[in-house]
Amino acid sequence: MFLENSKNTGRIEVICGSMFSGKTEELIRRMRRAVFANLKTAIFKPAIDVRYSDSDVVSHDAHAIRSTPVASSDDIRRMASDVEVVGIDEAQFFDEGIIDVARELAGKGIRVIVAGLDMDYLGKPFGPIPSLMAIADDVLKVHAICVRCGDLAQFSHRLSRSENLVELGEKDIYEPICRHCYNKLLEEGKL
């Protein structure tokens, strides 16, 4: 587990999992602890994520923290120069440059906390998250509960017929399911 008092040591922490697994909740918890410790913080989210708020990072259970929406990973690089802890939510929506940004910030002694989906709705590695996991000092994979059987869920099953890789939505469009239920839907041709 990470050391929260390692104030001068840069590091990369990744929180990943399916939708409804608590990724954003954990990011908010870690960022609030950093604020409580009087550390200079900044939290960023992709500008396209306006599901709950244009500017705040908001978890599915309505916990929120002030953030800065940005269009690209380079915006984070420019805006995070005078902080000790950087939070990045929904990192799967950022360009591949987010990997170098995280590495660069950690190299400058900044603690970088990244949250994002590790798999897309097809069960494939999603965006830069797998690469961020590979270079992270700490990776926490969180799980939701399968809405079909109650087991631990690691897949974000899309209920809509859209084939777009990115489709922002909530419980009206996605449900967390376990591997068994995912494979059952796959066998039935429903994925």
Catalytic residues: 90
Q: How many helices (H) and strands (E) does the chain have?
A: 5, 12
18 with 176: CB under 8 angstroms?
yes
152 with 53: CB under 8 angstroms?
no
- What are the two backbone dihedrals, phi and then psi, of residue 148, each rounded to the nearest 5 degrees? -95, -35
- Separation of alpha carbons 168 and 54, rounded Å: 13
Sign of CA dihedral 41, 82, 13, 73: positive
